[in-house]
Amino acid sequence: MRLFLAVAVLMLAFVAYTEAQDDTIDAKFNKFGEQVSDFAGNMAEKIKTSFQDINNSETAAKVKDWWAEQMERMRNTFQ
């Protein structure tokens, strides 16, 4: 009877231990997912800011003006 009781207690302890481990693994995956989402959000914001800075730069304005001038020359040539 004692052996049966000891085995039952050990099984309950093992089940409780594995459930506790599962919770921590789930928590780790959730935390990892949140970190990936934060990283992606931050990276998207940085990329958006960089594109805006490039678009608003003086060099970009000069390139746009040069391109418009070249296109206008081509239109005049074909007309």
Residue 56, phi then psi, degrees to nearest 5: -95, 5
Q: How far apart are CA 34 and CA 30, in angstroms?
A: 6
pTM exceeds 0.85: no
Residue 66 tokens read as 């040069």
Mean pLDDT rounded to a whole number for the chain: 85
Amino acid identity for residue 75 in this structure: R
pLDDT at position 77 over 80: yes
pLDDT-derived band at 8 (thresholds 50, 70, 90) equals: confident
